[in-house]
Structure 1
Amino acid sequence: MQIKESPEIFDAIIVGSGAGGGMATKILSEAGLNIAVIEAGPFFDPANPESRTQLKWSYESPRRGASTTRDFGDFDAAYGGWDIEGEPYTKKNGTKFDWFRSRMLGGRTNHWGRISLRFGPLDFKRKSLDGLGDDWPISYDDVKPYYDKVDKLIGVFGSNENLPNDPDGFFLPAPKPRLHEMYYIKGARKANVPVYPSRLSILTKAINNERGVCFYCSQCNRSCSAYADFSSGSCLIFPAQKSGGQIKLFTDSMVREVVIDDSGRATGVIFINKLDRKEYKLNAKVIVLAASACSTARILLNSKSKIHKDGLGNSSGLVGKYLHDSTGSNRSAFVPDLMDRETYNEDGVGGMHVYTPWWGNNKKLDFPRGYHIEISGGLRMPAYGFGFNIDALNKFIGANVGGYGNDLRNDVKKFYGAIVGISGRGESIPMESNYCEIDPNVVDEWGIPVLRFHYEWSKHEKLQAKHMHDTFEEIIDGMGGHALGDKPTEEEDFGLLAPGRIIHEVGTTRMGDDPKKSVTNKYQQLHDVDNVFIVDAGPFVSQADKNPTWTILALSWRTCDYIVSELKKQNI
């Protein structure tokens, strides 16, 4: 096919517009660089009435908000999911890895939970503590100034608690606990489990004139039309455009590969425009990959040349290796004291108001690392399938809950708000044996070879999940509640969700000082090609028991400062 090449040479091409790509767009454009941003999905602005899903009732959908169209419900802001028509991926050796993709400007930042936790000092040096995996080539002190900048730029609510591995920050006022969260606090304290105000990137107080303040509709997963929560488009890319940045957006554009010249340096990228299905080439001095850990690995592995025969940046053979996701397991509880509640608006933010950071002493436990606990429940907007597990309640109560007509309506009202959800989200051990690679026999509808996954949980993650459920039941008992469903068994991996289901995949282009044991250096610059950088979660050496977004943002900012400095020195 004939490739249409643009005559314009950009200072930088950024592939992907999520957390890392959005931050790179802002920092590099404000430094005066001429930027091209390539996004695989369409343009999206949550304030646009044509695309807005916020403040719509579930009954406005013929499916009552069910997840048959989008994985998180009809009105969720994610254009995509674990399965996208025409864009398959494959698995080998019984792997259960599920890969979530969000094809839209802003990517997954439009629908995420906004849990915005810094990695702590111990998280960067885990091998030194337990002998597993590897230490990062950087420390918390290297990233702290950028965490501080991200806090102030984007806004995050919370409270300073002086916890050793959950660093304090610059926090906006945290919302008060709702009733179900007060019951959780009661149960957790009886179980000697700490509880603190959550840390979410949602504005509870104005920080500038361009963004609104949260009005507690509890629909952050729909992306906020007032820009009160963090999404990459509304908080990074749009402000960068308004401030006069030289930014050209290429949406609905699927990147196939990075183009390499005869000397082995990157000169641009080739992408397929999804609308006219033609191939295009853009040229630039610097390439910044921010497509997500797995998508970036796919682009690199598909970027083969005479010099980079195994894929770009893959002289170590580690592109795609050490893939890992957060651990996750859930339990729900029926709390009799919350039955027959008065119905009132307690929506709050679109996430938890309190949470439990890791509190355990691994020297006394049979597994390494740890997890934090998330809480859900309350008088959330009813949707298809909401409410309660009828079979589990019948087993506990010994009565016929539910049914049809008035009986069903009366029981829904009786149990509405009486179910509390508890979830553990933890750290897994990075292993070279967990990876993604190019499937030699399968391409997507754009003709691009797809990824094939291999992933298995180790005994460490399974024992961590067992500890989660032991803790859940102790907390539920302290709440005066009753755990619904049977406790997961060892044969069920203690309820451990399939890898990929928490959507925190990291590690496929890990950073390090040794080019033989890593893909990028400590500035997320390819060891093999000095004008290619990666600013998604691929360079993470380990995940920590925290959500990765705040660290993606901080490291992207740090990398972009380095890019600007190196360009000024004419080193790249």
Structure 2
Amino acid sequence: MGTLQVKKNPKKYDAVIVGSGAGGGMATYVLAKAGLKVCLIEAGPMYDPAKNSNQLQPPWASPRRGRGTKFRPFGDFDGCYWAWQIDGEPYTHVDDTKWNWWRARMLGGRTNHWGRITLRFGPRDFKRRDIDGLGDNWPISYDDIKPYYDKVESLIGVFGTNEGLPNDPDGVFLPPPKPRLHEMLIKKAGTSLGIPVIPSRLSILTKKINDERGQCFYCAQCGRSCKVYADFSSSSVLIIPALKTGNVDLLTNCMAREVITNKEGLATGVSYVNKEDMQEYVVEGRTVILAASACESARLLLNSKSTRHSAGLANSSGVVGKYLHDSTGADMGGYLPNLFGRKRYNEDGVGGMHVYTPWWLDNKKLDFPRGYHIEYGGGMDQPAYGFGWNIQNINGKQVATRTKKEAGGYGKSLKEDYRFFYGASVGMAGRGEALALESNYCEIDPTTVDKYGIPVLRFNVKNSEYEIKQAKHMKETFKEILTEMGAVITYGDDGPENNYGLHDPGVIIHEAGTVRMGSNPKTSALNEWCQAHDAKNVFCVDGGAFVSQADKNITHTILALSWRASDYIVDQMKKQNL
């Protein structure tokens, strides 16, 4: 047998960063701008939205007419490569675990596919244990991260309005787009029920902020990633500008295997498999920054075993992989008969909702401890192949057609029905906070490896009764709003038989909590600077650092925490502490 040859890059960097999504992109940007030499390792190919986006492609340009595949489950034009299943990269489950693990393989990661919903965590979100006695407080407060929320919003551009809400903080906002017709009806219904409906907060440029990025022209296709960089993605706003500094070497199609450490237990670099020649290489750096996603970073740490780190790197506490959680999610929607046959006009708007509902109630008066927000959809965006939602036949009863004919058909008659129903849809999605529990975790599967020979993750995650009760409340709220609007509900009217339609963990794609920060090294992997307690030159700047998720999408907080950690790294290097 021959000896495995591991090839070493002769260049030593100030930082080796694994993963190019929100956290890795921000770290690359800040460190490169500070003059540090960075090696960025990405498991997928190069991706520049200006060159590679499918924006403005007509539906017939797709051989599947836009239908999803494993490579793009949200449709053939979606901005993201791969998702819950990747050929040759399996993951496993314990018993009846339903965890769905989304993995993006491309420059910019999942920031090429997301709703651009950019919400700050509020003061209460960092200290939830003080409020309800559950989970743990963060080792930082809102005041610690507020300056970085300000900086992120100024850099990437976020539209919204300052509402003075105590736990949904005001920000540095661009003007929001006007609500569409169905959103005005939602606002009217919400107001009558005492449910707030306010302008959304999305990282999309409603006005020009610099010469490098264009202004949104309202094609409503942000999910495809924007050719003029008018929406935020890590590739367009962070990494491509960082590459222009000359301080970044980008390694694409390279799958990180483990973090290499020395006899003192400090990181010296990262080993990876080059997908093009399937050979293993090592790149060295003064610091190693993991930003491959909460689960992927945990996998790297758990696979990085040594004499000093027998349970995996940064895992003397035993918490790496634990406290894994995703946002909760449940949906409901239907049609508004008073909008059938509505007048045609362009209301495409941005690629996402123009209004949303922040959490508005007191959990002390409810039977579940954490809140949720409501995301809204519907109206007339650009037509695509596919038509459904069972509008003509609900529970076996015909409720509405353009004429008295039966549902279905073809040709001219079917097209007339399409036009009649088009623009009358409305949908609601709850996105809430799940409890971060030690019993929910990912670990290394002892018997399974991927096609690169790297041991894979095994998941053990379940929703608790708290999440189920939260989903029940979501559905009751959705039904109130839809009824007030006069809607006919066509999907999502679930009951206890399926946990009120609560999605399986991982479906909402907000994984967090596997490399949690904390003040006590015995119960946490990282300190308040996202720095490993066990190895001072190892950092984790993705969702893994989160102690809890809040009822907000996590990308904004990942960006802010990564910027904060990166400033700390620059400072510590200047002081020769790293």
TM range (shorter): over 0.9
1:129-182, Cα deviation, whole Å (9 max, x unpaired): 001100000000000000000011111000000000000001000000001111
Residues 387 and 417 in structure 1, CA contact (< 8 A), matched pair in contact too: no
State the 1:390 CA deviation.
Answer: 4.6
Q: Return 402-411 or 337-346, whichever deviates more.
A: 402-411
Paired residue secondary structure (2:13):
strand
Which one-letter code corresponds to 2:365 in the other structure? K
Match of 1:188 in 2: 190
Q: C-alpha separation between the residues in 2 aligned to 1:133 and 1:192? A: 30
Q: C-alpha separation between the residues in 1 aligned to 2:252 and 2:242? A: 17
Residues 10 and 285 in structure 1, CA contact (< 8 A), matched pair in contact too: yes
* Residue 570 to residue 128, structure 1, CA distance change in 2 (3 Å): same
1:414 to 406, 412, 420: 420
1:512 to 513, 518, 521: 518
Q: C-alpha separation between the residues in 1 aligned to 2:29 and 2:399? A: 58
Q: C-alpha separation between the residues in 1 aligned to 2:192 and 2:388? A: 27
State the 1:364 CA deviation.
Answer: 1.5
Match of 1:499 in 2: 505
Residues 492 and 501 in structure 2, CA contact (< 8 A), matched pair in contact too: no
Structure 1 unaligned blocks of 5 or more: none
Match of 1:138 in 2: 140
1:76 to 61, 75, 78: 78
Q: C-alpha separation between the residues in 1 aligned to 2:454 and 2:205? A: 40
1:443 to 434, 449, 474: 449
TM-score between the two structures when normalised by the length of structure 1: 0.98
**How many residues are aligned here?**
569
Q: C-alpha separation between the residues in 1 aligned to 2:73 and 2:26? A: 27
2:47 maps to 1:44: yes
Q: C-alpha separation between the residues in 2 aligned to 1:390 and 1:175? A: 29
Q: C-alpha separation between the residues in 2 aligned to 1:87 and 1:486? A: 32
Q: Return 12-21 or 394-403, whichever deviates more.
A: 394-403
The aligned runs of 1:280-319 (5 Å cut-off) are 280-319=281-320
Match of 1:165 in 2: 167
1:560 to 535, 548, 566: 566
Q: C-alpha separation between the residues in 2 aligned to 1:72 and 1:222? A: 10
Q: CA RMSD in A?
A: 1.2
2:355 maps to 1:354: yes
Which one-letter code corresponds to 1:36 in the other structure? C
State the 1:398 CA deviation.
Answer: 4.3
1:531 to 503, 520, 537: 537
1:393-426, Cα deviation, whole Å (9 max, x unpaired): 4745346323333332222111111110110000
Match of 1:546 in 2: 552
State the 1:16 CA deviation.
Answer: 0.5
Q: C-alpha separation between the residues in 1 aligned to 2:192 and 2:491? A: 22
Match of 2:17 in 1: 14
Q: C-alpha separation between the residues in 2 aligned to 1:142 and 1:503? A: 26
Residues 26 and 237 in structure 1, CA contact (< 8 A), matched pair in contact too: yes
2:473 maps to 1:467: yes
Paired residue secondary structure (1:80):
coil
Match of 2:210 in 1: 208
State the 1:258 CA deviation.
Answer: 0.2
* Residue 234 to residue 398, structure 1, CA distance change in 2 (3 Å): closer
Q: C-alpha separation between the residues in 1 aligned to 2:42 and 2:109? A: 9
Q: C-alpha separation between the residues in 1 aligned to 2:367 and 2:246? A: 52
Residues 33 and 246 in structure 1, CA contact (< 8 A), matched pair in contact too: yes
Match of 1:228 in 2: 230
The aligned runs of 1:196-275 (5 Å cut-off) are 196-242=198-244, 244-275=245-276
Q: C-alpha separation between the residues in 1 aligned to 2:409 and 2:327? A: 38
Q: C-alpha separation between the residues in 2 aligned to 1:385 and 1:423? A: 21
Q: Return 58-67 or 462-471, whichever deviates more.
A: 58-67
Q: Return 209-218 or 65-74, whichever deviates more.
A: 65-74
Residues 389 and 490 in structure 2, CA contact (< 8 A), matched pair in contact too: no
TM-score between the two structures when normalised by the length of structure 2: 0.97
Which one-letter code corresponds to 2:555 in the other structure? T
* Residue 396 to residue 427, structure 1, CA distance change in 2 (3 Å): farther
Structure 2 unaligned blocks of 5 or more: 401-405
| Amino-acid identity (%) | 62
Match of 1:33 in 2: 36
* Residue 392 to residue 107, structure 1, CA distance change in 2 (3 Å): farther
Residues 401 and 411 in structure 1, CA contact (< 8 A), matched pair in contact too: no
1:4-36, Cα deviation, whole Å (9 max, x unpaired): 101111010010000000100011111111000
Match of 2:488 in 1: 482
1:197-227, Cα deviation, whole Å (9 max, x unpaired): 0000000011111100000000001100000
Q: C-alpha separation between the residues in 1 aligned to 2:106 and 2:372? A: 30
Which one-letter code corresponds to 2:232 in the other structure? F
Q: C-alpha separation between the residues in 2 aligned to 1:445 and 1:466? A: 41
Q: C-alpha separation between the residues in 2 aligned to 1:386 and 1:196? A: 30
Which one-letter code corresponds to 1:521 in the other structure? N
Residues 20 and 234 in structure 2, CA contact (< 8 A), matched pair in contact too: yes
The aligned runs of 1:95-174 (5 Å cut-off) are 95-174=97-176
Which one-letter code corresponds to 1:539 in the other structure? A
Which one-letter code corresponds to 1:385 in the other structure? G
